Amino acid sequence: MLNLRQTWILLAMLATWVAAGSAETYRLSGEKGWQNVADDPESEYLLAISQIKQQLLIGTDADVVDALEALKKDFPEMTGTEVDAYIEAEKLYAKADMYKAATAYKKFIDAWPDSILQPAAMERLYSIATAYLQGQKRVFIKILKLPAFDTGVDLMYDVADRAGSSPMGLRALTTLAESQERKKLFMDAFGTWQQIADQWPTGKTRQTATLRMAQALHASYDGVQYDDSLIEKARAYFQDYNNQYPQDAARLEVPETINLINEQLAYKQYETGFYYERTGKSDVASQYYHKVLKDWPDSKAAAMAQARMAPDAVSPIKMTTRRRMVNGTTRFLDSWFGIDTMFDKILPEDGNEDKVPLNILNDSSVP
């Protein structure tokens, strides 16, 4: 029997030759030229394997098992524990016992890394991982159905590690990154796209990964109350994409996205200033408003900051009855105990408001 790696090369060299009045299959032999596979049991075996791989793609799971059993019967001298192990994995897959099937496929690949059935086992692993990522549950103790997204992530990384820089490796990582995006796991997706960019540092793959990294970081930004370092990093990736691929960037409206991020960053600074203004720290607020005007002079937030600094701007502190009560109580306690105020740190009073008379308190409240 030929070395299995050699047989895989022979399989790739099979060709179809239609003779007069009949169709026959031939393979190219380096020594004897084109030979009819009917005269070569090895080639017949390879052709049978090729047909089984087609069944993996278009046939039912039961059809694949039947074809493998037939292969054992027709070529007993060429099959053995290798095919038996693969058949056992296929039987588990046909019964939809995906977790055990995945374990069996991994054991098969580890035991026979050069097997002609190794690519088929990798496809099965990829299919199982994809099913888990798309929401298929993992059966536990034959009754419980548990979420299996994390299992799908582990399996897909396993496929990617085994496949390396082959097309299968790229397909596995791309499927994983897109699944993480659908689950709104944007930072996980960013990490996967970054791995793709590192592993395929040139060409269309790198271009796509750069854009998707920027989009994942941008999507992870939750608003003005959160750290803006991620959105600034997203802007850097978008700018990198815009500089390297200007035509595609224009088509995908990347410059508009960069402008949007600038508006978001400006608005965060404005909101920070407005927060300090509401808490009575007008000097600190003014610093943030000036920063908006300096860094993003053409933004909508800059116009809002300019309005807040106008002499006739209305105070953002609304003097409700509750606030007046709190402020009045605070002054009373200060005068009685001689301590620093505590409530004004939470609900500061407007510097221009009138003094609240102590008699706002009920007589019964006075010791």
Average pLDDT over the chain reads: 77
Q: Which runs of consecutive H residues, i.e. helices, occur in the chain?
A: 4-12, 41-58, 61-74, 81-94, 98-111, 118-133, 149-163, 167-182, 186-199, 203-219, 229-244, 246-251, 254-278, 282-295, 300-308, 321-337
- Within 8 A by CB and 6+ apart from 285, the residues are 273, 274, 275, 276, 277, 308
Banded pLDDT at 71 (limits 50, 70, 90): low
Q: How far apart (Å, rounded) are the C-alpha atoms in residues 50 and 351?
A: 85
Q: Please tell me the predicted confidence (pLDDT) of residue 316.
A: 77
pLDDT digits (tens, 9 = 90+) for 244-292: 999 999 999 999 999 999 999 999 999 999 999 888 888 999 999 999 9
**Which has more pLDDT, 25 or 97?**
97
> Reduced to 3 states, what is the DSSP secondary structure of residue 221?
coil
Token pair 């239609």 in the structure block, residue: 18
Total-model pTM: 0.68
**Considering the chain, what percentage of its residues have pLDDT values greater than 90?**
46
In angstroms, the CA 290 to CA 32 distance is 85
Angle formed at CA 166 by CA 165 and CA 167, multiple of 5 degrees = 120
Give residue 32's pLDDT band: very low, low, confident or very high (50, 70, 90).
very low
Q: What is the pLDDT of residues 165-221, one digit of tens each?
A: 999 999 999 999 999 999 999 999 999 999 999 999 999 999 999 999 999 999 998
Q: How confident is the model at residue 26 (pLDDT cuts 50, 70, 90)?
A: very low
pLDDT, greater one: 335 or 236: 236
pLDDT confidence of residue 91: 86
287-332 confidence digits (pLDDT tens): 999 999 999 999 999 999 999 988 878 877 654 556 556 555 555 5
Report in angstroms the alpha-carbon separations of 259 from 215, 266, 310.
Answer: 14, 10, 26
Rounded CA-CA distance 73/311 in Å is 94
